[in-house]
A and B are shown apart, each in its own frame.
Chain A
Amino acid sequence: MRRARLGFWLFLAPVLAWLVLLIVLPHLDLLVMSLRSGSGSRASWTLQNYANFFGEPIYWLTFVRTAMYSVITTAITFLLAMPVAFYIAKVARVRLQGFLLTLLLLPFWVSELVRIYGWMILLRESGVVNFALLKLGLADAPVEMLYNDATMIMGLVYTSMLFMVVPLVSAVESLDDSLIEAAHDLGAGRAAIWWRIILPHCKPGITSGAIVVFMLCLGNYLTPNLMGGKNSLWFTEQIYNQFIASFNWNQGAAFGFLLLALSSAIIWIGLKITGQKLGEVAS
C-alpha cells in the first residue's frame, strides 16, 4: 500500500514539476506583473493595465476582431474538414486512407514560417499565380492577393485543417455503418442522416477539433502578420508590441492574461450553448 503510494508520487512528480515550473509559475509572474505599474522601487499595485484595455477602443476592438475571425476560421475549417474526414474514414479504401492522412500531415514537416512563405511566393504580385494570370491573359496587371483578410483567413484555415481532420476522422470511424443504413431504411434522406445521425455522433470530435483550432488561431502570430500584413490587427501583435516595441511589460502581461481569460470564456459559452462538458469532450 505504502509502496504503491510512493510509486504514484514518483510518477506524478515530473508532471507536477512541469505544471508548476512551466505553466503555473510564469503565469503567476505574469499576473503579478500585470497588476503593477512602473518598475523597481517606484512600482505599485494597480488595475490600470486592465482598465487601459477596456478604455482604449483600439485594444478591445482588436480583440473582438481577432475572436470573430478565429470563430469564422474555425467554422470554415469544420465545413471543409467534415467531408474530407467522412471520405477518409468511410469511403476510401484502407490503403488510400493512410495515404490521404499522410498527405494531410505532410505540410507540417516544414515549419510554419516556410509554409507561409510558400503561400507568399504563390500569391505576391510577382508570384506564380500572377505570372500565370498574366500569361493566360486573364489579367492586364498583377493583382495584389496578399495582405487582406480573406487571404489571412485562408492561411489560417490551411494551418488548422489537420487539427480538425484528425479528431473528425476518428469520430467518424467509430460510427457503425449499420446506423447509417438503419436510418436510411427508416426513411431518412441524406440531410436527415447527416443531421440526426452523423453529426450528433461526431459531436465530441467536432468540439475538440473546434477548441484546438480556435485556440491556435487566436494565439497565432506568424500567419496574420505575414499574410494579413500591417493592417491584420491581430491581438497577439498588440501583446508583442507592448513587450517588444513599447517595453511596457506590465501592459503586455495584462493583455496576455486577458487573452487567456476571454478565450476561456468564449469556449465555456460555446460548450454551454451546445450542451456539453469539457470532460466528455476530452475523453
Chain B
Amino acid sequence: MENDLSVSRLVKRFGEFTAVDDVSFDVPAGSFFSILGPSGCGKTTMLRMVAGFEEPTSGTIAIRGRDMARVAPNRRPVNLVFQHLALFPMMNVARNIAFGLERRGTPRAEIARRVERTLERVGLPGFGSKEIAQLSGGQKQRVAIARCLVLEPSVLLLDEPLGALDLKLREQMKVELKKLQAKVGTTFIYITHDQSEALVMSDAVAVMNKGRFEQVGSPQELYGDPATPFVAGFVGDSNIWEGTVRECSGQRAVIGTDEGFAFEARRRGACAPGSAVRLFLRPEAMRIEPADASGLNTFRATVKALLFDGANSRLLTVTPAEHELLVTLPQNRRFDHIRPGQEITLGWHPDSGVCFRREGGDA
C-alpha cells in the first residue's frame, strides 16, 4: 500500500536538548494514526516539523513520496488543526473556511459551493454566516477541521484538538472524529496524551516517550502485548510487582515477587535466572474466587474498598505485605456479597501477565 507520510530517522535538537530523537515511521494512505505520549515528550515538535514550522536537525520527511526538505508550510500538502484551534476571529465561519481556497485563487462560485459542502460534512449546514464568537466549543472544533478539510490535504495533522473541551464533549467528539475520518478518507495524524482518545479512534498508535517511539502498533497490540515497560505502564491501568526470575521456560518465566509470591508469566526480552524484573498485570485479568484454579497463579488478598463506577467498577485489595492491587469487579451480581475487610482468593492466567527486565533504577 502507498504511504501518505514517511518519516525516517528524524531528529530535532534545541541546543543541547533533544526533543525528537531518531524517529522513523510510515503512515499508510487513509489511516488514522495517533501519537500518544506524556506532556513534553516531543509530540508537538514532531508535528510542527511535518507541517513545516520547524526545521529538522536531521532526517527526512516525505509526503506521498515527495521529499519535504525546504518546502515552506504554505506549499505543503498537509494542514494542521492547532491545539487552540486558531480560528480567525476577524472573519465569519464561511470566510474562515474559504481562506485557504482564496489563497489558491479558486473561483468565487466554486469556493461558495465547497464551503457549504464542507460545512455539511462536519454537521454544520447553514452556519457560514455565524461569527466565531457565537459558536460553542464543539462547533469551533468542527469549523477548525472543516477549514483544513476543504483544502483536501494529503494528510491532516491534529494537535490535541480535544484538549480544550470538557469531558462530556470530548467523549462525543472522539466518536464523531472517527466517523468523520472514515467518511472523508483523509489520512489523520492525531496527537494526544489521552490514551483513551488514541485507543478509540486509531488504526495505529505510536507511543512516544522522551523523544523516542517506544512501540508502534494497533490499539489491541499496545494494550495486550506491550513491547516495553513504559508502554505497559502508560497504556491502560496495570498492577505492578517487582521481583526476580527463578526459572525460564519457553516464552514464560517463573518469578519470585519481592513479597514472596511465585508467579508464572509471559516474558519479554532475554531471560536470565536471578535478574530483576517488573511484572505488569491488567485489573481485568484477575478473577475473583476462581472455581477452577488449575493452571492459574493464585493468591489471597483483603478487600480494602469497593470502587463502584458502573461497568468500570473495581475492588481495591491489599496483599498481606500491604501491596495495593486493583481488581475489576464484573457487574453481574455474582460478587454482590463482597464487603470491605473480607479476604478473597484471586487468580490469573500466566499469559495475561507480562514481565520486563528491570534496568538500573528506572523503567
Contact = CB atoms under 8 A, between A and B. Distances in A.
Indicate whether A and B interact. Answer: yes
Interface of A: 176, 178-179, 181-189, 192, 196-197, 200-201
A97 B329 CA distance: 60
A197 B74 contact: no
Given A184-B73, A184-B74, A185-B74, A197 B88 contact: yes
Interface stretch (B78-86, B201-209, B229-237): B78-86
Which of A183, A187, A192, A197 has the most CB atoms of chain B within a 10 A radius of its CB? A187
Given A181-B53, A200-B90, A201-B90, A187 B82 contact: no
B103 A187 contact: yes
Given A186-B79, A187-B100, A188-B103, A181 B74 contact: no
A187 B151 contact: yes
A187 B76 CA distance: 8
A192 B82 CA distance: 20
B82 A186 contact: no
A98 B148 CA distance: 38
Interface in B27-66: 51-53
B249 to A, nearest CB: 55
A185 B80 contact: yes
B147 interface: yes
A184 B100 CA distance: 9
Main secondary structure of the interface of A (DSSP, over half): helix
A185 B84 CA distance: 15
A201 B90 CA distance: 7
Contacts of B90: 197, 200-201
B99 interface: yes
Interface of B: 51-53, 72-75, 79-80, 82-84, 86-90, 99-100, 103-104, 147-148, 151
B82 A181 contact: yes
B133 to A, nearest CB: 14
A183 B51 contact: no
A182 B79 CA distance: 9
A178 B83 CA distance: 9
B51 A185 contact: yes
A183 B88 contact: yes
A63 to B, nearest CB: 36
Contacts of B75: 187
A192 B53 contact: no
A229 B53 CA distance: 54
A203 to B, nearest CB: 8
Contacts of A179: 86, 88
15 contacts: A178-B86, A181-B80, A182-B86, A184-B53, A184-B72, A185-B79, A186-B100, A186-B151, A187-B74, A187-B103, A187-B151, A188-B103, A189-B103, A200-B90, A201-B90
Q: Interface SS of chain B: helix, strand, loop or mixed?
A: mixed
Query: Closest 7 CB pairs between A and B?
Result: A187-B103, A186-B100, A182-B86, A178-B86, A200-B90, A187-B74, A184-B73
Contacts of B84: 176, 178
Contacts of B148: 186
Nearest to A201: B90
Nearest to A196: B99
A192 B91 CA distance: 14
Nearest to A181: B53
> Which of A178, A179, A185 has the largest number of chain B CB atoms within 10 A?
A185
A181 B83 CA distance: 12
Contacts of A176: 84, 86
A180 B90 CA distance: 13
Nearest to B76: A185
A186 B104 CA distance: 9
Contact of A186 (B53, B72, B74): B74
B345 to A, nearest CB: 56
Contact of B86 (A181, A188, A200, A201): A181
B307 to A, nearest CB: 40
Contacts of A184: 53, 72-74
Contacts of B99: 183, 186, 188, 196
Contacts of B51: 185
A176 B53 CA distance: 16
Given A184-B73, A185-B74, A186-B147, A192 B86 contact: no
Contacts of A201: 89-90
Nearest to A192: B103
A174 to B, nearest CB: 11
A184 B79 CA distance: 10
A176 B83 CA distance: 12
B145 to A, nearest CB: 13
Nearest to A189: B74
Given A183-B88, A186-B147, A187-B151, A178 B100 contact: no
Given A178-B83, A187-B103, 11 more contacts: A176-B84, A176-B86, A178-B84, A183-B88, A184-B53, A185-B73, A185-B74, A185-B79, A186-B147, A187-B74, A188-B99
B177 to A, nearest CB: 19
Nearest to B75: A187
B53 A187 contact: no
A217 B18 CA distance: 54
Contacts of A197: 88, 90
Nearest to A200: B90
A197 B86 CA distance: 11
B73 to A, nearest CB: 5
A192 to B, nearest CB: 6
B68 to A, nearest CB: 13
A197 B83 CA distance: 19
Nearest to A188: B103
Contacts of B89: 201
A192 B103 CA distance: 8
Nearest to B100: A186
A186 B51 CA distance: 11
B15 to A, nearest CB: 15
A159 to B, nearest CB: 32
